[in-house]
Structure 1
Amino acid sequence: MIKVLKNQGYHLLWYVVIGTFLVAVVGQFPERYNRFWGLSAFEWIAVSWILAGVHQAYITFLARLELYLGKIRAWFGRAGFPIFKVGFYLLGPARLATVIPISLATVNTLPLPRSVSVALIVVSAPFILWTFYSFIFYFGLHRAACADHFDPAYRTGAMEKRGIFRFLSNPGYCFGILIIYHAGLLWQSSLGLVAAAAHHAFIWCAYYSFERPDMKEIYGPNV
């Protein structure tokens, strides 16, 4: 259990720190009271941040329970990973999609020329699409859902080096995640961009407190 919880104090600390900073920043915007689908922008941000915590706690705890203790397969047998994967692909998109109602509640609050917003979307789009293509056709959505925590065969496999992985070891967090900024840019929403930045920062916290240490456990210390 010690390995399961390793670095998770830091993970939780950064969740609290980033969340506190997020609340402080949002409090400076009067448009936080604007509403969409019955909730204020501030309430949507609260939902968004709660989902961020649930999502990363779900992945970290369950994937490590299997990697270090073999508990998920012990409890659910061969259905263990498919069950885990359903939660992985429900919570992740749901969490990131909350940036859309935040942005729609605060349309046209970004003090930036629309031409600049459009340019940022256009410039980042090819890198985002290349990242998605590389994940789907080279890395695989199965592996992206922490399959290497469940299948010992990955321990003897090589790191992916095709597509964008030739140049970056973690393109998902460098380029793929940039898509969450597009809602704020598209609808010119200041709080949409603030929420996106908070999610982006917290995802990197997961990388250093969970993914990176586990990669060394699975693939060896030189990854």
Structure 2
Amino acid sequence: MKKLPVSFLFEGQLQHLILLAGLLPGAIYLASPALDGSTWLGIPDTTWFYSVILIVVIHQFLGWFVFRTQLVFSLLSRLFGKYDMAVWGSLFFPFLLSRPLLTLALGLADYGSLESLRSIQIVLGACLLIPALYTGWSVERYFGIPRALGGDHFRQKYREMPLVRKGAFKYSSNAMYAFAFLLFWAIALLTGSRAALAVALFQHAYIWVHMYCTEDPDMQIIYQGIKEPITN
């Protein structure tokens, strides 16, 4: 892969910031009517709400920083050698796991704020769990955790692997973003929480911002001249 200019660090990031500036007030606007100070574990719903938002934003900015500095400077590889991906995983996975847990905490604090049609909410939530969990299984079974972690930013061997077309990836080459994020919608509907639903919408929209503003430019560089790019 050719040496990249330092300016590539910021490719697509102005658009990223503009879209984030629109998504944040949108999420707050949608959640605000439900944020009445209700608590779970003694912590108010407002605190849970802003905690989720903060974790999501930090997580995705961390993804931008690591991916771009790896492509431009091979930063983690230079600092940690063969342990570069292990270090990245130790940063990435705590954020990833905290997102559904904090969304659930918000849903429990704001339980039932959607009020009407509770039975339909529960049925829809249970239905959305199916593709979300199936996608998680498909990632582990067919795609592989290292590739899902962005292994193509670190190792040539991941760049040379073919597209995965099994499991959830049979229905979308980007099943992780298309289907796995339905987990947040499922949590919101199962808890009947308007605030959690606003957070689910924010997370699902914001991951596509990451895709188009960060990963898509990366893929164009990484897979230049390769016929079948892997969609992370």
**TM-score of the two chains, using structure 1 as the length reference:** 0.92
Cα-Cα RMSD: 1.7
One of 179, 200, 214 as aligned partner of 1:210: 214
Deviations 1:149-175 (Å, cap 9, x if unpaired)?
010222322222222212211111111
**Take 1:196 and 1:69, find their aligned partners in 2: how far apart are those partners?**
34
Give the equivalent residue in structure 2 for 1:23. 28
Extract unaligned runs of 5+ from structure 1: none
Give the equivalent residue in structure 2 for 1:38. 42
- Which amino acid in structure 2 is aligned with residue 134 of structure 1? S
One of 127, 131, 135 as aligned partner of 1:123: 127
- Which amino acid in structure 1 is aligned with residue 199 of structure 2? A
**Take 2:165 and 2:88, find their aligned partners in 1: how far apart are those partners?**
26
- Whether 1:11 aligns to 2:16 is yes
- Whether 1:93 aligns to 2:106 is no
Shift, 1:38, TM fit: 3.2
Give the equivalent residue in structure 1 for 2:3. none
- Whether 1:155 aligns to 2:155 is no
1:26–1:42 CA contact under 8 A, matched in 2: no
One of 103, 123, 145 as aligned partner of 2:149: 145
**Take 1:203 and 1:19, find their aligned partners in 2: how far apart are those partners?**
13
Please identify runs of 4+ aligned residues in structure 1 that moved more than 6 A.
none
Query: Between the two proteins, what is the percent identity of the paired residues?
Result: 25
Deviations 1:109-138 (Å, cap 9, x if unpaired)?
113322211221232233223211210110
**Take 2:103 and 2:67, find their aligned partners in 1: how far apart are those partners?**
26
- Whether 1:82 aligns to 2:108 is no
**TM-score of the two chains, using structure 2 as the length reference:** 0.88
1:128–1:179 CA contact under 8 A, matched in 2: yes
- Which amino acid in structure 2 is aligned with residue 65 of structure 1? T
Extract unaligned runs of 5+ from structure 2: 1-5
Deviates further, 45-54 or 180-189:
180-189
Give the match's secondary structure for 2:116.
coil
Shift, 1:146, TM fit: 0.8
Shift, 1:181, TM fit: 1.6
One of 62, 65, 71 as aligned partner of 2:66: 62
2:30–2:195 CA contact under 8 A, matched in 1: no
Deviates further, 95-104 or 52-61:
95-104
* Number of equivalent positions: 222
**Take 1:208 and 1:162, find their aligned partners in 2: how far apart are those partners?**
24
- Which amino acid in structure 2 is aligned with residue 23 of structure 1? I
